[in-house]
Amino acid sequence: MTSDPTQIQHLAQSQFAPVAQAYVHSPTHAHGPDRQRMLELAALLGPERVLDVATGGGHMALALAGVAQHVVASDLTLAMLHAAREHITAQGYPQLSYCRCPAEALPFAAASFALVTCRVAAHHFADIQAFVQESARVLKPGGALLVSDHIGLDDPDLDAFMDRFERWRDPSHVRAYSFAEWQHFCITAGLKLTHTEPYQWESYPFAAWTARIRMPDSERDQLEQWLLAAEPRYHDFFQIEVAEGRVQSLRGTFGIIMAHKPT
């Protein structure tokens, strides 16, 4: 896996541009339980200006649009922004703004937003610390960064196993970070970590999960055989469900992180 941020960003764009509509219509992205929980934690009152980073299919931005005064949806991939705008406008929210930009270099003035959100995307970022620092910069004093994402595991073997199947399926996956690592990122950026919680994302239906990213058949089959051959502890922890010799589903680990900028 390359550590060059530019290469990582190019890989993410090439990976997601062709499948933008698949993420708009993905039931798990549209209706995942974390979206409502993020709205609850945000506790928006109405006059806020909000930035949704790496908006993807626009599902978080759409949820925020029903509450906040104004929402800016950003994404690195132009095709994603076009798909998100089409989807959000069709739901009756034409007033959002859209911005193509990397998460690590947000083109907004300091203290521009009351809330920065990022849902199930941070594991793709080329420089996670730069994203947190940029979020801190654009937040108003007292504002919050609210992230939902894959969460890394303390057990190094389990963590490496999850990292391998996530990256095998999606080469633009960089890394899932633990709650402890998120705390370090926030402290370094001058934010105070105020809340963390794990949550259970729906199981990945193996066929749909690999098809959504257009995984080549040969790679999908190799991944499936690798999962089938895994030791029982991995089957148990990641709930790898098998029927008639085929992988039906599996799970990753997810969580929510909230941090505030001092007043």
CATH (domain of 139)? 3.40.50.150
Distance from C-alpha of 130 to C-alpha of 104, rounded to nearest angstrom: 5
Report the SS3 class of residue 162: helix
pLDDT greater than 80 at residue 31: no
Per cent of the chain over pLDDT 70 is 89
CA distances from 87 to 13, 14, 57, 160, 214 (A): 19, 21, 8, 36, 21
pLDDT greater than 70 at residue 208: yes
pLDDT digits (tens, 9 = 90+) for 65-89: 999 999 999 999 998 899 999 999 9
Note whether residue 219 is domain-resident.
no
3-state DSSP of 48-67: CEEEEECCCCCHHHHHHHCC
Count of domains observed in the chain: 1
Q: What is the mean pLDDT of residues 205-209?
A: 95
What is the band of 22 on the pLDDT scale with cuts at 50, 70, 90? Answer: low
> Is the distance from CB of 182 to CB of 207 less than 8 angstroms?
no
pLDDT digits (tens, 9 = 90+) for 83-113: 999 999 999 998 899 999 999 999 999 999 9
Note whether residue 224 is domain-resident.
no
Q: What is the mean pLDDT of residues 195-208?
A: 94
pLDDT of the residue at 6: 75
Residue 199 CA, distance from chain mean position: 14
pLDDT greater than 60 at residue 1: no
pLDDT of the residue at 2: 46
pLDDT digits (tens, 9 = 90+) for 232-242: 999 999 999 99
Note whether residue 10 is domain-resident.
yes
Range of the domain at 41: 5-202+252-260
Note whether residue 74 is domain-resident.
yes
Q: Are strands 241-243 and 204-205 parallel, antiparallel or unpaired?
A: unpaired
Mean pLDDT of the chain: 92
pLDDT greater than 90 at residue 130: yes
pLDDT greater than 60 at residue 12: no
Note whether residue 227 is domain-resident.
no
Note whether residue 84 is domain-resident.
yes
